[in-house]
Structure 1
Amino acid sequence: MNPLSVSSSSTRGPAEHEIRDQIVAAANEHFSQYGYSKTTVSDLAKAIGFSKAYIYKFFDSKQAIGEAICSNCLSQIIAAVEEAINAVGISPTERFRRLVKSLITKGVDLFFNDRKLYDIAAFSASERWPSSQVYDMRIKHFVLQIVREGRELGEFERKTPLDETVESIHLALRPYINPLLLQHNLDVVEEAPGLISSLILRSLMP
């Protein structure tokens, strides 16, 4: 699976993917035990068995390692959403319902059944890391595609400016996109997809 695209400046040195993957995997395990914020690159170097200087050949900073982990995690959500909404022969209305459901269910599954991923994803969201911002932009683009298709087919209203409609929907979905906010809505994740979808779709009716 290809990770979300973030700046290549987060890596440096030889493009030895196996070693980079080894560092990322070991860092992921270390973060899960001690937390991202409490771990230093020196801690990682000692745990992995590499020198600190050697790690810096592949990553500029601890954040760059966290970005790699976060990007892989968020890419899994994007892949689940794409699979759900790109089914052949479904209407824009159904695509939107699938978008919301897959966003919430996959996010909950990743972030809260695997707390080590949540810790890094939450830090990414709070610090507005590139991986988090790219993820947010991808979700907004999905909304744009669905709304535009719905307008072209006459399923959705066309009076409201397209950018205003997309931005409003994106804001309405934010509590279930941002892991910092999602943690406060876990008690409603079963009914949330259906209720949110129905409310937004009613507002889109022509």
Structure 2
Amino acid sequence: MSPAITSPVPPRGPADHDVRDQIVVAATEHFSQYGYEKTTVSDLAKTIGFSKAYIYKFFESKQAIGEMICSNCLREIEAEVVAAVSAVDRPPEKLRRMFKAIVEASLRLFFRDRKLYEIAISSATERWRSAIAHEEFVRQLILEVLQQGRDSGEFERKTPIDETAAAIYLVMHPYINPLLLRHSFDHTDEAPALLAGLVLRSLSP
């Protein structure tokens, strides 16, 4: 059983998913070219060919559009992490895979387009719902793997599990948070294996 993957922000307005998706696709392309911060809803309306009022039927603000785009990206990361963790049986290897998959998926998605990376920065800085939900996803996955390791006798059981999970999350945090990830770029090749090894040694019974 894996934690629920981050859901998009609650939809607004008519249940016209084609139009909502059209707005998100156009916004993604526009943000990619001009940047999130420099784009206004008026700019998007001109690009898409809709009125501002029509866009506001589906999204209450530019941030809501940005959150939808951000949620889509985070769901890609989370699906990749779940697949990596689920591919192995032993909890220590699950933890190794988790470290590696989170770093690799985050780098690929957040750095493939520098303009779109602004959305990730805004999400982390302003504590958008999508960012908070993603952090909770990681915490719950850590807890799940820890519990499996304790049940199998491969991880120590003396430390309160919430305390252990919080410590592991803090170790991973520089590679989860986009604000910190850009400052950790020089270490992303070796960091997952080294940090996972350190954590696993601390978990030995």
TM-score scaled to structure 1, two decimals? 0.94
Q: Runs of at least 4 residues of structure 1 off by over 6 A?
A: none
Give 2:23's aligned amino acid: I
TM-aligned CA deviation for residue 117 of structure 1: 3.1
TM-aligned CA deviation for residue 6 of structure 1: 4.8
- Taking the aligned partners of 1:116 and 1:18, their CA distance within structure 2 comes to 25
TM-aligned CA deviation for residue 83 of structure 1: 0.3
Give 1:12's aligned amino acid: R
Does residue 1:64 correspond to 2:53, yes or no?
no
TM-aligned CA deviation for residue 169 of structure 1: 0.5
Counterpart in the other structure of 2:140:
141
TM-aligned CA deviation for residue 123 of structure 1: 0.9
TM-aligned CA deviation for residue 5 of structure 1: 2.0
Give 1:188's aligned amino acid: H
Identical positions, percent: 58
Counterpart in the other structure of 2:49:
49
TM-aligned CA deviation for residue 37 of structure 1: 1.4
Structure 1 residues without counterparts, runs of 5 or longer: none
- Taking the aligned partners of 1:69 and 1:116, their CA distance within structure 2 comes to 13
Counterpart in the other structure of 2:103:
104
Counterpart in the other structure of 2:28:
28
Give 1:4's aligned amino acid: T
- Taking the aligned partners of 1:109 and 1:6, their CA distance within structure 2 comes to 20
Structure 2 residues without counterparts, runs of 5 or longer: none
TM-aligned CA deviation for residue 148 of structure 1: 0.6
Counterpart in the other structure of 2:124:
125
Counterpart in the other structure of 1:180:
179
Task: Judge which range, 44-53 or 108-117, deviates more.
Answer: 108-117
* RMSD of aligned residue pairs (Cα, Å): 1.4
Counterpart in the other structure of 1:82:
82
Q: How many residues align?
A: 202
Q: Residue 21 of structure 2: SS of its match in structure 1? A: helix
TM-aligned CA deviation for residue 4 of structure 1: 2.1
Contact 1:24–1:65, Cα closer than 8 Å, also in 2: yes
TM-aligned CA deviation for residue 48 of structure 1: 1.1
TM-aligned CA deviation for residue 114 of structure 1: 2.2
